[in-house]
Structure 1
Amino acid sequence: MTNHEEGKPNGAENDNNKSELEDTTAVDIDLPDESKTQLINGGAGEDHPEKFKTAIVDPGASSDGEASFNGLGKDEVLQYANDPFWVKLRWIMFILVWIGWLAMLVTAIAIIVLAPRCPHRPDLKWYHTDNVYQAYAKSFKDSGDDGIGDFKGLKDKMDYITDDLKTNALWLSAVYKADKDSSGMGVVDHKAIDPEFVKDTDEFRSWVKKQRKEGKKVILDLIPNQTSKKHLWFEKSVNQEGDYKDYYVWADGDKTKAPNNWKMVDSNDSAWTYDATRKGWYLHQFSTDYPDLNLNNPKVVEEIKDIMKYWFDAGVSGFNVRQVEYLVENPDLTDEHDDHRHQTLNYNGTLTFLEELRKVAEDYSDKPGRERVLYATVHHANGAQIKSYWGTEGNERLHIVAPYMGQLGDSACDAKCVKEMVEKVISEETEEEQWLGLQVGDQDMSRITSRLAEQDPVNYGHRLVNAHALQLLLPGTPLVYYGDEFGQRNGNGTAPGKFHSPMQWDNSENAGFTKKGVNPYIELSPTYETDNAGVGQVIFKDMTPFVAYQTLTELRKEESFQFGKTKLCTVGDNVLMFSRHADRFPYFITLVNMGASEVTVSPSDLKCLDTKDEAKVSFHSRDEKVDETLDMEDQSVHLAAFDVVVLKYAAED
């Protein structure tokens, strides 16, 4: 067909050819070998110079002469898939990728194996790491000018507990509505606060909840062994009303003869009293005014659990279970066959009861840092019985058991005596799973400073620092009775009231507990002008017991004191040494001279604790050489009378 037939003039065809040539672009291409030449030229196979110009017609080129390259078609790519050059190049790239990947894998493994591991930290709860400070409610601070400590006074002094003592856990004792002279033990209502302390129980509950939200802990006493005779339960039990009939331990019998030969705890009097209304005998191990609850009765157990829930709902963080060794007695009321208490002391039923309480506490331990705790002081139990109060997996009981350790600061108990006492309750098992409470005083015993001052009127302050070091640095939770931090002594009067003497804030009249001219509800200690929180914080030549307490509390935050293993040994009769060592953390050795003479501890003496060649002084009770580095290979440690020195060693890899 001619151009004429197509309707196009010859000139138009020429114009088109000219346009195609104008769209042709000259491109310089390097051709290092024949293979590349063939690839570019569609496989023509002709010889080409190293550089040449070839015309590539780009149908999609723009009118301004810009060229584009459309690449190879499928057939062309397949044609050269087996070309030796490209096969070789692919293998090289494949091998390089795998070598790079393997190199990264080896490097990652080397980092994991050779890099320092993170030190192991056990899952510690708040009650493992904090001190617990016990305050006797009506003896802490009077804000109403009536001589009785009250709720507002307590709130006004909370900064002292949290800031000066560096603790967030307050154990508040004798706070329930109870018989006036019962030291809080004759409870009338477990769900009401003593109106002399605070008139509105709901106000107290709201405050407790607020403390919990702020990360502070409030702990109360739980008194499941007994109530006051004025308690509604007992009044109904006397009248044998419904289920209340068996809420207490009753026994039938002639009013002239007690049901058995059981004796009261603190006297040789019978533990039974006849009630003429009921015409039966009720058990009272501590006072005729405090009848014993029948904890063998499941309904009574549920009542105690309900009390716990009531206070847990209010934000209470735990309970100190009072009189734990006497809670459950033999329901058969069998006579004692000797002078020991087999039927009422550490009786097996107590353990089952504690398991029920533990379940309630666990149900409320919903978040880390918000766990609920149960603990108790044990005065009359052997090693096996103490361990039974912790329980076993699946039968957990108390979180913390505090064996009586009042001898920690007793001048009659030398270093070997203390070592033996501590080793009875500390083992690898107790350090890992069974947590100790460390207590040297409470509301039921003579204050530690009074005991020390009676034994050694000259050096009692130094001995108190000894006791602080043992209580704060041995494994366990320190349970500190108010005023012991600076050396408060018993008040005037009789026991147990003199153990609850008003807190001594300063050396003003009435020790700052209440205003001048007001008579405190209970007598002060006669030494309040020298033994008080204000004077205790003054730095003298020798470190005061209060400053020592504060310094040792800070030191206790070190990991090795929190969860390190403990090893004890002695030098002679008077020097107790113990190490606290957590793997891969700095560790410590504490030296306590419990005698009135100077002692030199040689490097060979320290070898029983696996020391290293170099140590730094972290604490000195006379505030000497603190932060000084000692060469423990050649240098001895000189301890003055009643000195306490803590040495710090570098962490081991």
Structure 2
Amino acid sequence: MALQSPEWWRNGIIYQVYPRSFNDTSGDGIGDLKGVTAKLDYIQSLGVDAVWLSPFYKSPMVDFGYDVADYRDVDPMFGSLADFDELIAEAHAKGLKVVIDQIYSHTSDQHAWFEESRQSRDNPKADWYVWADTKPDGNPPNNWVSVFGGSSWKWDTRRNQYYLHNFLTEQPDLNVHNPEVQEQLLADLRFWLDRGVDGFRLDAINFCCHNQSLEDNPPKYASLAEYGDSIPPNQYDYQWHVNDKTQPETAAFLQRVRAVLNEYPGTMAVGEIGDDNMIDVMTQYTTDNRLHCAYSFELLAEDCDAEFFRRIIRESNDLITKGWACWSIGNHDVPRVITRWNADELDQAAKEDRAALFWLMQFTLRGNSCIYQGEELGLSEAEIAFEDLQDPYGINLWPEFKGRDGCRTPMPWDSSLANAGFSSAKPWLPVVPEHIERSVDVMEADSSSLLHRFRSVVNWKNQQQWLKMADLELIEDTGELLAFYRDIDGHRYIIILNLGATQQSYPLFTAGAENLTPDNYAHEVSPSAVVLPPSGAVVLKLA
């Protein structure tokens, strides 16, 4: 594990745990906090700096914990506050930081705040959520659309008003414009900081504030014909979302969040950004004393060729130089990396080589990295039958969109046990056969496995202190190669990655260069060129 400092997050690796699917110790088929604590030795063995826990708060679980009913309590299915305190203590004893989710955009409709707010228009929490009057014809106040499809507005008969929900109808939007709401959220932040939490992942943070004028969002195109053959299955994709999120007031609120975090040295916050201009928002939110770092859905896309990554790096120049990026290529919301970024015709060895290449790319860019549980095993996207689906997103949009269950299936620990050692009971999602073949015990027993390759490249990364703050300069016009310089204290390093399907050569004067390439990345270096097979890579210190 890397030597940690108050700015441990700068070049750190954050390992995301989805508690429902990590390890079940209670025997109910759902992972729990004690299950995470029991596997901290494994997480520590990966060499990562921190573990990020997806929501474990008290919740009706309509959206699996992202519909919070109590910001200060653990849902009984995950355990108790005492279990959480034990997890914190054990993680810290092992040198691991703990990052937890915070959801500031919305709560559950079963949260006590909302239950009070919906009772009348003049109760103490009447303005804690976003309420609006109907149009004269009874329709919602504007054309805003939920991420999950359908109108963003739900009629409530108690107030005879609509409430805003950018996600499910069971997730009413908080009115973060309200100073009382801000004070409450900051108090809840302190609650977890006082328990020893080291950082926060702020879910959908740019959804916090809406345009209070409630103006319509403009359509992306004037007519459906302009979509051609690419008509989106989700209504959400037909609008430019300029009024329902990403308002100036959010940036001001984040300065208040940062001020609280500054009271607790060594803590941090990473924001999740989903916007039409994601990189610009990431830059805005990680400058001027706001978030420490941010990630977006840019690298969670289907594209994965060299020009795609060049575009991301090019457009991220201000973010990389003025703010701070968190490079996330996989999480609980998108198909698994090894499936999403690999052609079906590639054999397993070639797919694993590409997975390892993407790790090296993450670790050598300027910023920090998130790794989702199971990526180190090379878990593929699981095929889930409709009758086994749990995700309301997929159920609503099936079959064009199958939801997020395929990346949320249980972590396989022991191939010799029922359900791959995840649980003694039927898991909440099935353990698919191809994952059992890649259980931790199987991968541990094979010294050449992807798991060991992951540990190797993480260990290499942790030894390269120059990676933390070195400037980054993209090299253009490199075809299927992705190449960039890192510069610090008069020293220049070059990283070259072959994302193509054929051998590539890059002309480079290498006399006197020091080869720093980690193990298991194929390359040839001559005095005048670098030659890389598919998924090959080289890291050189030039001066």
Q: Is TM (by shorter chain) over 0.5?
A: yes
Correspondence for 1:616: 515
Q: CA deviation at 1:507?
A: 2.7
- The aligned amino acid for 1:633 is P
How is 1:93-132 mapped onto 2 (pairs within 5 angstroms)?
125-132=7-14
Shift of 1:221: 0.5
Structure-2 residue corresponding to 1:559: 465
Aligned counterpart for 2:508 among listed residues 606, 616, 639: 606
Structure 2 letter corresponding to 1:479: C
Opposite residue 286 of structure 2, the aligned amino acid is W
Out of 320, 324, 331, which is 1:430 matched to? Answer: 320
Instruction: Establish whether residue 521 from structure 1 lines up as the match of residue 420 from structure 2.
Output: no
The corresponding residue for 1:16 is: none
The match for 1:534 among 430, 434, 441 is 441
Counterparts of 1:397-476 in structure 2, within 5 Å, are: 397-406=290-299, 412-427=303-318, 430-431=320-321, 433-453=322-342, 455-458=344-347, 459-476=350-367
The verdict on how the C-alpha distance between 1:449 and 1:219 changes in structure 2, with shifts beyond 3 A counting, is same
Counterpart position of 2:396 = none
**Secondary structure of 2:124's aligned partner:** helix
* CA shift for structure 1 position 308: 0.2
CA distance in 2: counterparts of 1:468 and 1:143, whole angstroms: 31
Q: Deviations over 1:415-471 (max 9, x none)?
A: 2321221121135x734x422101001111111122134554423222212211111
Q: Structure 1's 405 and 347: CA in aligned 2 closer, same or farther, altered over 3 A?
A: same
Secondary structure of residue in 1 paired with 2:175:
coil
User: Which residue does the alignment assign to 1:230?
Assistant: 110
- Name the CA distance, whole Å, in 1 between partners of 2:169 and 2:320: 38
2:492 equivalent to 1:583 = no
Residues 243 and 457 from structure 1, CA distance in 2 versus in 1: closer, same or farther, beyond 3 angstroms? farther
Q: 2:533 aligns with which of 640, 643, 647?
A: 640
The residue number in structure 1 matching 2:172 is 291
Q: 1:352 aligns with which of 252, 255, 261?
A: 252
Task: In structure 2, list runs of 5 or more residues that go unmatched.
Answer: 220-238, 390-402
* Structure 2 counterpart of 1:135, one-letter code: V
Measured in 2, the distance between the counterparts of 1:575 and 1:291 equals 46
- Structure 2 residue aligned with 1:57: none
The whole-number CA distance in structure 2 between the counterparts of 1:535 and 1:568 is: 39
Structure 1 residue 180 corresponds to structure 2 residue 80: no
Q: How far apart in 2 are the matches of 1:647 and 1:405?
A: 28
Q: 2:49 aligns with which of 168, 183, 190?
A: 168
Q: Hey, what's the Cα distance between the residues in 1 that align with 2:452 and 2:494?
A: 20
Tell me which residue corresponds to 1:364: 264
1:265 aligns with: 147
**2: CA distance, partners of 1:357 / 1:456:** 47
SS at match of 2:500: coil
Match of 1:478 in 2: 369
Superposed displacement of residue 124, structure 1: 6.7
Instruction: Name 2:269's counterpart in structure 1.
Output: 374
Q: Is 2:53–2:99's contact at 8 Å kept on the other side of the alignment?
A: yes
Indicate whether 1:592 and 2:491 are aligned. Answer: no
Distance 1:322 1:231, change over 3 A: same
- Secondary structure of 1:528's match? helix
Q: How far, CA to CA, are the matches of 1:426 and 1:506 in structure 2?
A: 44
In 1, distance between residues paired with 2:480 and 2:419?
39
> In the alignment, is residue 217 of structure 1 matched against residue 102 of structure 2?
no
C-alpha contact 2:379 2:435 (8 A) present in aligned 1 = yes
Task: Give, as a single letter, the amino acid of the residue that structure 2 aligns with 1:430.
Answer: I
Once the two structures are superposed, residues 456-509 of structure 1 have per-residue CA deviations (whole angstroms, 9 ceiling, x without a partner) of: 442322221221111122111111111112211233434223321111224334
Contact 1:402 1:438 in 2 (8 A): yes
Larger Rg: 1
**CA 1:571/1:404 → structure 2, altered by over 3 Å: closer, same or farther?**
same
**CA displacement at 1:178 relative to structure 2:** 1.1
What is the TM-score of this pair, normalised by structure 1? 0.71
Structure 2 Cα separation of the partners of residues 232 and 255 of structure 1? 31
Matched, 1:387 2:299: no
Q: Give how far 1:584 is off.
A: 5.8
Displacement of 1:384: 3.2
Q: In 2 relative to 1, CA 141–213 (structure 1 residues): closer, same or farther, beyond 3 Å? A: closer
**Percent identity of paired positions between Structure 1 and Structure 2:** 27
Residue type of the alignment partner of 1:378 = I
Q: Write the mapping of 1:241-256 to structure 2, written as runs, cut at 5 A.
A: 242-253=123-134, 256=138
SS of alignment partner, residue 334 of structure 2: coil
1:307 deviation in Å?
0.8
Task: Tell me, in whole angstroms, the C-alpha distance in 1 between the residues paired with 2:278 and 2:532.
Answer: 35
CA contact (8 A) 2:40 2:91 kept: no
2:187 counterpart of 1:306:
yes
Question: What code does the residue aligned with 2:285 have?
Answer: Y
Query: Partners in 2 of 1:617 and 1:203 — Cα distance?
Result: 43
- Within 2, Cα distance between the matches of 1:648 and 1:257? 63
How far off is 1:301 after superposition? 0.7
- 1:137: Cα distance to partner? 0.9
Aligned to 1:334: 215
Gaps of 5+ in 1: 1-122, 366-370
| Alignment partners' CA distance in 2, 1:336 and 1:420 | 27
Amino acid at match of 2:204: Q
The match for 1:205 among 85, 90, 93 is 85
Whether the aligned pair in 2 keeps the contact of 1:561 and 1:581 (CA below 8 Å) is no
Q: Distance in 1 between matches of 2:517 and 2:406?
A: 37
One-letter code of the match for 1:618? T
Would the aligned equivalents of 2:36 and 2:87 in 1 still touch at CA under 8 Å?
A: no
Give the aligned partner of residue 368 of structure 1.
none
For 2:181 and 2:328, locate their aligned partners in 1 and report how far apart those are by CA, in whole Å: 30
1:545 aligns with 2:439: no
More contact order relative to length (CA 8 Å, sep ≥ 6): 2
Counterpart secondary structure, 1:228: coil
RMSD of aligned residue pairs (Cα, Å): 2.6
SS at structure 1 position matched to 2:410? coil
- Does the CA contact (< 8 Å) of 2:37 and 2:87 recur in 1? no
Shift of 1:356: 1.5
Deviation, 1:248, is 0.6
Q: Is the 8 A contact 1:189 1:231 kept in 2?
A: yes
The counterpart of 2:26, out of the listed 144, 162, 169, is 144
Match of residue 487, structure 1, among 378, 382, 398:
378
Name the structure 1 match of 2:407: 499
Shift of 1:256: 2.3
1:534 is aligned with what amino acid? D
The alignment covers a number of residue pairs equal to 498
CA distance in 2, matches of 1:387, 1:529: 41
CA distances 1:620-653 after superposition (whole Å, capped 9, x unpaired): 435688xxxx6x534x43322222233345xx5x
- Give the C-alpha shift of residue 209 in structure 1: 4.8
Inter-partner Cα distance in structure 1 for 2:341 and 2:444: 21
